[in-house]
Amino acid sequence: MKVEVIDLSATQAQDPLDEEEPKEQEVFETSDNEGLVDEETDEARQDQEVVSDPVASQDEARTVFESTVVVSTGDFSGRIDRCADLCRTGRADESVDQRLARIGRELQEIELERGAEEYADEAQGLQEMYRALERERARELGRMQARLQLAPSEEGAVRLPRVTLDAGDCERIVELERKIASLEASVGQTSSTKSVVTCVNELFHKVSLLENNEPLLEKFETSMKRISKEYEESIIGRRATKDPALQKHITEDLKTTDTKVAEIYNSYNLLKKYAGVLPDLINRVQSLNTLHREVRDAATTVQDFDQNVAQLSAQADRWDTMLTEMEEKLDQHEASFEKNKETIFHWVSALEAKLDGQKGSSL
């Protein structure tokens, strides 16, 4: 059977990004801004390169991760003090049993692979080493089980452990239980899946709604009153079943449908008696209502007049006080003026006397 071999290395796929620009350029009428955008996109298209990363082989990946176990130590409990450890990873310390189990699985995988014949000797040596380790571990477990098992002479007897209780220890345990109960009563149950910060935020939002939502508070008050009334009625009903006197009192207070219909008929008969004078009574009431409104308007007007008169009298009192103060100040100014006038007259008289004396001496 002929098999045709095709060499793919000679034919290379041409990248559409590396295609040459056509020699003939078509011209379209566009704005200047669109031309700038086209030039920028052409330059960016020429700068682009095809990046292809080589795929790592399976053997290299195995050598990297065969001795490393990555375990997430993230904390998803919702606590804000552990947000830094949310996606942190680290290496886990494997125990001897885990390492042996991992080695056994890897040996089985090697045996199942098709190309494992060339490594048969190495695989056989590793399997012998694994079996030796398993036998050593089995012997160690047997020795530990032998230490834990009872002797043949003691197998038929059962010994109870000697337990001694101290009263002081019991008191301390009771005291610790009491403290834990008080803390749980103050903080809350620990079985909640929400964090303390979330619970505090929910309580804060609920309190804010209750403080700033008057219709909600009124609705809550109405519901509480209705529930309280229904509860009281249920209690009274239960008591009435046992107390005949209370049951009789309740039945007397309750109005049946027949009683209500009888009251309606009585009211109808009463209205029928006053059917003739009822229009006059209505007119009289309307006139009294009109008179009442007029009297109220008059009383309001008189009250306004009283307020204006009181304001005028207060203003007049202030004016009288002001005039009195002005008169006192004018009197003071007049007295000071008279005093100054007398002083000036004395000065003028003294000057005249000096002038007369100088004239006589000169003559």
Q: Is residue 320 part of a domain?
A: no
Who has greater pLDDT, 105 or 29?
105
Question: Would you state the pLDDT for residue 3?
Answer: 46
Interval 208-265: pLDDT, tens: 777 777 777 788 888 888 888 887 777 777 776 777 776 666 666 666 677 778 888 8
Interval 268-319: pLDDT, tens: 888 888 888 888 888 999 999 999 999 999 999 999 999 999 999 999 999 9
DSSP string, 163-225: ----HHHHHHHHHHHHHHHHHHHHH--TT-SS-HHHHHHHHHHHHHHHHH-HHHHHHHHHHHH
Element (DSSP H or E) covering residue 90: strand 89-91
Per-residue b/e over 240-263, b at no fewer than 16 CB within 10 Å? beeeeeeeeeeeeeeeeeeeeeee
132 φ/ψ angles, rounded to the nearest 5 degrees: -65, -45
141 φ/ψ angles, rounded to the nearest 5 degrees: -65, -35
pTM of the model: 0.23
CA–CA gap between residue 195 and residue 75 (Å, rounded) = 12
Residue 298 CB partners (closer than 8 Å, separation 6+): none
Range of the domain at 109: 93-141
Question: Would you state the pLDDT for residue 60?
Answer: 67
CA–CA gap between residue 248 and residue 254 (Å, rounded) = 10
Residues constituting the chain: 363
Q: Is residue 296 part of a domain?
A: no
CA–CA gap between residue 352 and residue 346 (Å, rounded) = 10
User: What is the arithmetic mean of pLDDT over 123-127?
Assistant: 76
Q: Is residue 16 part of a domain?
A: no
- Vertex 83: Cα angle to 82 and 84 (nearest 5): 90
Interval 135-193: pLDDT, tens: 888 888 888 777 776 544 454 555 655 656 667 777 888 888 888 877 777 765 556 66
Q: Is residue 183 part of a domain?
A: no
Q: Is residue 23 part of a domain?
A: no
Q: What is the CA radius of gyration of the chain?
A: 57
Q: Is residue 176 part of a domain?
A: no
Q: Is residue 359 part of a domain?
A: no
Report the domain count for the chain.
1
The percentage of residues in the chain with a pLDDT greater than 90, rounded to a whole number, is: 18
Q: Is residue 119 part of a domain?
A: yes
